């Protein structure tokens, strides 16, 4: 029996196939303001990501700090099923660190937009030289490298094409289209990814941020255009408005577009909660996939259909291992009272339900919140 109840509306837009998921929680995600994870915490998260089915885990940027160095070393030695990737700038010291740590896979980044180049005072030709030297070094030292053009969605097309073609010619095995500031519309992402796929002849990733709230849509557009891997983080954590949310991307691709991934959606809420706990931040309760109110129902109109999940939910709670529940408050209805009484094993005659509902609504308005099970018991009793 299907756990997805979206109907046939999306069928004509199906993409199909498979996409790889690349998690950058331990590097880009840790750039969330105020989040600091120690090596043991990062190793714990890496194990969770591995159990979640993530294909590639970016263990970190080893030259940021001694903690990051130790985290990359521990994760690389942990014997996980996922590919463990490092992160490096196109500078010799960063690349030498990867060799010293024995990291076999790495993203190698360089800014390529004129805005970024002007800000750091490096001309185009000098940056192009750095990039090609870095790719050659990686290839010569057995590192499977993906070129990561920072702010590539704002790079001038002529320079973009030169850089990506040169990076591959110099030894890059893959490339990443990078929407560093989340400025690209999904349509623009699709065009740029498609152009890059045609240009380079190697696997193309998409790395998107969520500054305009379209990171998931852009990830989908990238996959439609031929992206092999999508980057993201747990809970969408990251700088500013965060990164693409890996759980949301995986669910949207599967449920709306028929694109499979190896992500075990039934574990995403558990991993989400633990990453939040370690990182010290909270989520909006209405967050897709992992929000705490996703399957909690207060509305009486909805409670009347609670027995028939497809009528009030787009996909089954079983898909993401969530619990369905009725909660009581100002917006409750008679069916809410009946269901809650049955759930708690309380005997409540039908003729008393309206009286109890009135008391529940009144208490909910007085509290400006929900009525607890214990309060409900007292009302009924």
Dihedral sign (CA 77, 30, 58, 19): positive
Of 230, 245, 279, which closes a domain? 279
Same domain? 345 vs 239: no
> CB within 8 A of 23, min separation 6: which ones?
49, 54, 56, 57, 58, 231, 232, 233, 234, 246
288 inside domain: no
Same domain? 308 vs 274: no
Dihedral angle computed from the Cα positions of residues 270, 275, 276 and 278, in that order, rounded to the nearest 10 degrees: 130
Same domain? 28 vs 101: yes
pLDDT of residue 198: 98
Same domain? 241 vs 338: no
6 inside domain: no
Of 254, 279, 304, which closes a domain? 279
pLDDT of residue 1: 63
What stretch of H or E contains 31? Answer: none
CATH code, domain carrying 241: 3.20.20.70
Same domain? 261 vs 300: no
Report how many domains make up the chain.
Answer: 2
Nearest alpha-carbon partner for 202 in 231, 226, 221: 226
- How far is 66 from 72, CA to CA, in rounded Å? 10
Structural domain range at position 362: 296-380
Dihedral angle computed from the Cα positions of residues 291, 296, 300 and 303, in that order, rounded to the nearest 10 degrees: 130
Same domain? 370 vs 266: no
Q: What is the DSSP letter of 372?
A: P
In 112-157, where do the E strands start and end? 144-150
- How far is 168 from 175, CA to CA, in rounded Å? 8
4 inside domain: no
Same domain? 258 vs 323: no
Same domain? 81 vs 162: yes
57 inside domain: yes
Same domain? 326 vs 369: yes
Same domain? 45 vs 154: yes
The percentage of the chain sitting over the pLDDT mark of 90, rounded to a whole number, equals: 99
Same domain? 132 vs 185: yes
310 inside domain: yes
What stretch of H or E contains 130? Answer: helix 124-140
pLDDT of residue 68: 94
Q: What is the DSSP letter of 348?
A: -
Of 227, 251, 279, which closes a domain? 279
Q: Which tokens is 339 given?
A: 């269901």
pLDDT of residue 191: 98
pLDDT of residue 381: 86
Q: What is the DSSP letter of 364?
A: H
- How far is 78 from 101, CA to CA, in rounded Å? 13
Same domain? 275 vs 304: no
Could you read off the pLDDT tens digit of each residue along the chain, which spans 381 residues? 699 999 999 999 999 999 999 999 999 999 999 999 999 999 999 999 999 999 999 999 999 899 999 999 999 999 999 999 999 999 999 999 999 999 999 999 999 999 999 999 999 999 999 999 999 999 999 999 999 999 999 999 999 999 999 999 999 999 999 999 999 999 999 999 999 999 999 999 999 999 999 999 999 999 999 999 999 999 999 999 999 999 999 999 999 999 999 999 999 999 999 999 999 999 999 999 999 999 999 999 999 999 999 999 999 999 999 999 999 999 999 999 999 999 999 999 999 999 999 999 999 999 999 999 999 999 998
206 inside domain: yes
208 inside domain: yes
334 inside domain: yes
Report the relative pairing of strands 204-208 and 174-179 from DSSP bridges.
parallel
Report the relative pairing of strands 20-23 and 56-60 from DSSP bridges.
parallel
- How far is 206 from 209, CA to CA, in rounded Å? 10
Contact 126, 105 (CB under 8 A): no
């Amino acid at each position: 029996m299907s756990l997805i109840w979206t109907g046939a509306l999306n069928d004509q837009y199906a993409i199909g196939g498979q996409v790889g998921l690349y998690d950058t929680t331990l590097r880009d995600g840790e750039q969330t303001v105020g989040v600091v994870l120690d090596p043991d915490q990062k190793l714990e998260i890496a194990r969770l990501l591995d159990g979640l089915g993530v294909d590639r885990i970016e263990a970190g940027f080893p030259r940021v700090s001694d903690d990051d160095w130790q985290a990359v070393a521990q994760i690389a030695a942990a014997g996980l099923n996922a590919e463990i990737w490092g992160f490096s700038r196109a500078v010799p010291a960063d690349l030498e660190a990867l060799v010293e740590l024995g990291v076999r896979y790495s993203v190698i980044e360089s800014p390529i937009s004129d805005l970024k180049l002007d800000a750091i005072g490096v001309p185009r030709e000098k940056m192009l030289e750095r990039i090609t030297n870095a790719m050659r070094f990686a290839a010569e030292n057995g590192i499977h490298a993906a070129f990561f053009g920072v702010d590539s969605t704002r790079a001038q097309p002529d320079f973009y094409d030169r850089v990506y073609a040169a990076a591959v010619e110099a030894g890059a095995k893959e490339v990443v289209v990078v929407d560093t500031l989340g400025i690209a519309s999904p349509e623009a992402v699709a065009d740029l990814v498609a152009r890059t796929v045609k240009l380079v002849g190697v696997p193309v990733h998409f790395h998107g941020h969520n500054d305009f709230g379209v990171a998931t849509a852009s990830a989908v557009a990238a996959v439609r255009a031929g992206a092999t891997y999508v980057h993201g983080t747990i809970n969408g954590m990251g700088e500013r408005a965060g990164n693409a949310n890996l759980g949301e991307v995986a669910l949207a691709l599967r449920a709306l577009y028929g694109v499979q991934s190896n992500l075990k959606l039934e574990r995403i809420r558990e991993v989400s909660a633990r990453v939040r706990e370690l990182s010290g931040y909270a989520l909006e309760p209405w967050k897709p996939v992992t929000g705490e109110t996703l399957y909690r129902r207060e509305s009486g109109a909805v409670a009347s259909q609670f027995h028939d999940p497809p009528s009030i939910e787009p996909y089954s709670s079983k898909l993401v291992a969530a619990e369905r529940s009725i909660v009581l408050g100002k917006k409750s209805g008679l069916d809410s009272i009946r269901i809650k009484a049955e759930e708690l094993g309380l005997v409540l005659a039908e003729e008393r339900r309206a009286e109890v509902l009135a008391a529940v609504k009144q208490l909910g308005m007085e509290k400006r919140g929900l009525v607890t099970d214990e309060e409900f018991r007292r009302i009924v009793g």
